[in-house]
Amino acid sequence: MTSISDNDLTHDAFLGGKLHLWQPRLGYRAGVDPVLLAASVPARAGETVLDLGCGVGAAALCLGARVPGLDLTGVEQQASYVALARRNGLQVFETDFCNLPEEVRDRSFDHVLANPPFFDRAAGRQASDAGREAARGQATPLAAWVDVGARRLRHKGHLHMIHRAERVPDLLAAAHGRLGSPEIWPICPRVGKLAELVIFRARKDGRADFRLHPPIILHEGAQHLCDADSYRAEIRAVLRHGAALTL
């Protein structure tokens, strides 16, 4: 499906209303993950950013809302999401990122962002919705995401990814020989809980040793007690006010 009726869309506020994104009412919808990813990127005005598998553009556009003056580009293979990302204001190329068009291959970027599918479909069940399946079910190997990102980085540029914690060995293996200075920030729902996600960062031509940072804790308290917002103050500042994530 290359287009979606407005009746099947929602226009959702992000960053406390600083950004609004058109999204499918059903299927894959951007949530907290791309917002946290964007908040972790120490970009500066004038720098170039490539978002691989950008969906409706959430990560790149959240970053652009926080840091004006960035040159933002997205790559997405699903035509319906390409149309929505463009409607949301992102320059997007409709393509499989393993076969990038010349306009992208001829460029190098200061930052490459990616929120790859979390689950290996060799070990899981396929989702019924095509958009959700493409966003959650890994068809392209994780190593290919890292390789393509590394190739598009300029000297000393950074690759930034958010992924499941259990995929850390795969991320580090994929970066080995392609990128240096790897860093991991575990993301834990609460104090005392295991990390469910990680933010991964590595640098083109970086030479620093691997760093495992203290965890990012999302919620106050040891357990979920009610439906009220329980985000820690620094996380609420990211989600509701577009603040940077202090790493």
Residue range 7-241 in CATH 3.40.190.290 = no
Q: Which of 219, 217, 242 is nearest to 230 (CA)?
A: 219
Average pLDDT over residues 189-198: 97
Q: Determine which of 125-129, 174-178, 198-202, 218-222 has the lowest per-residue pLDDT on average.
A: 125-129
How much is the pLDDT for 4? Answer: 77
Question: Domain ranges in the chain?
Answer: 7-241
Instruction: Give the pairing type, strands 180-188 and 211-212.
Output: parallel
- Report whether pLDDT(205) > 90: yes
Cβ contacts of residue 27 below 8 Å, gap of 6+? Answer: 129, 130, 131, 132
Q: Are 114 and 160 in contact (CB under 8 A)?
A: yes
The confidence score (pLDDT) of residue 71 equals: 98
pLDDT at 194 exceeding the cut of 50? yes
Question: So what's the pLDDT on residue 127?
Answer: 46
Output the CA torsion sign for 75, 77, 80, 81.
negative
- Range 214-227 burial, b when 16+ CB lie within 10 A, else e: ebbbbbeeeeeeee
Q: What is the pLDDT of residue 136?
A: 45
pLDDT value, residue 45? 98
Q: What is the pLDDT of residues 83-124, one digit of tens each?
A: 999 999 999 999 998 899 999 999 999 999 999 998 654 554
Q: Please provide the average confidence, as pLDDT, over all residues in the chain.
A: 91
pLDDT one-digit tens code per residue, 134-163: 444 457 999 999 999 999 999 999 999 999
Question: Would you place residue 247 in the very low, low, confident or very high pLDDT band (cuts 50, 70, 90)?
Answer: confident
Q: How far apart are CA 162 and CA 195, in angstroms?
A: 12
Task: Count CB neighbours of 102 within 10 A.
Answer: 7
Between 207 and 119, where is the model more confident? 207
